[in-house]
């Protein structure tokens, strides 16, 4: 099993993801520079957080047109699991792999702290290890994290079970329907605004929770049968 971590100029959570996958979860994960087009041999891809291209023009929009994203779109179409975290979520939306848009937080400020989310969909490669409606603490850190969709898109997301995570008892950024994560209709592409890579070890959590690591452990559990087969 080999997982690729896409790295853009301005990425700053790539090393956290690399540490969690290799040292905490125990799978082989490698950095892949944004200019690389051949992605043969990778079983999944993670696009980490940061400020790709300095968030110029709009967060994620320049990175969405880089060579690696052309290849990741093809992999996603073939069913390869792809996870975007924070800036990675913005890049997936700008690339057209996920619906909606990510806007400035409703208070127009950068927010950084802990929140709580609830798992709404356990049928994705990144949430299958969670119990239905399981709640867990997780950190957030973003300025453009307000996920917005129009009414008809929201209805479609609900009807097709594409809402993956919701914020619980808090509205950190003003997202539509408290949405913190969504997936595509095929469920193999997931974008989330919170940071599981910053909270997958008990030493990093005020509550000593390691539940966010289940995002990565879910992926490994889903990939392993295919890799072994």
What is the Cα–Cα distance from 73 to 97, expressed in whole angstroms? 7
**Is 197 noted as a catalytic residue in this protein?**
yes
Of 94, 120, 144, 197, the active-site residue reads 197
Distance CA 84, CA 184 (A): 12
Residue 86 annotated in active site:
yes
Residues 6 or more apart in contact with residue 83 via CB below 8 angstroms: 44, 45, 46, 47, 126, 189, 190, 191, 192, 215, 219
Distance CA 104, CA 114 (A): 19
State how far the alpha carbon of 21 is from the alpha carbons of 3, 5, 14, 17, 149, in Å. 9, 10, 11, 6, 32
Among candidate residues 86, 94, 120, 183, the one labeled active-site is 86
User: Pick from 9, 10, 27: which is nearest to 18 by CA?
Assistant: 27
**Residues forming the active site:** 86, 195, 197
């Amino acid at each position: 099993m080999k997982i690729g971590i896409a790295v853009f100029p301005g990425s700053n959570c790539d090393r956290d993801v690399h540490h969690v996958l290799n040292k905490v979860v125990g799978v082989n994960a490698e950095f892949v520079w944004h200019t690389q087009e051949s992605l043969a041999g990778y079983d999944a891809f993670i696009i980490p957080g940061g400020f790709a291209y300095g968030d110029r023009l709009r967060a994620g929009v320049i990175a969405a047109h880089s060579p690696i994203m052309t290849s990741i779109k093809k992999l996603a179409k073939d069913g390869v699991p792809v996870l975007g975290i924070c800036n990675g979520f913005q890049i997936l939306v700008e690339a057209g792999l996920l619906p909606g848009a990510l806007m400035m937080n409703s208070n127009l400020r950068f927010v950084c702290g802990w929140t709580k989310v609830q798992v709404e969909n356990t049928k994705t490669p990144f949430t299958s290890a969670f119990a239905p409606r399981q709640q867990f603490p997780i950190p957030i850190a973003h300025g453009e994290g307000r996920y917005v969709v129009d009414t008809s898109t929201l209805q479609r997301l609900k009807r097709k079970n594409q809402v993956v995570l919701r914020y619980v008892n808090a509205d950190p950024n003003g997202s539509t329907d408290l949405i913190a994560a969504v997936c595509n209709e095929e469920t193999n592409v997931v974008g989330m605004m919170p940071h599981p890579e910053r909270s997958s070890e008990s030493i990093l959590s005020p509550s000593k929770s390691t539940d966010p690591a289940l995002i990565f452990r879910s992926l490994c559990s889903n990939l392993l049968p295919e890799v072994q087969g």
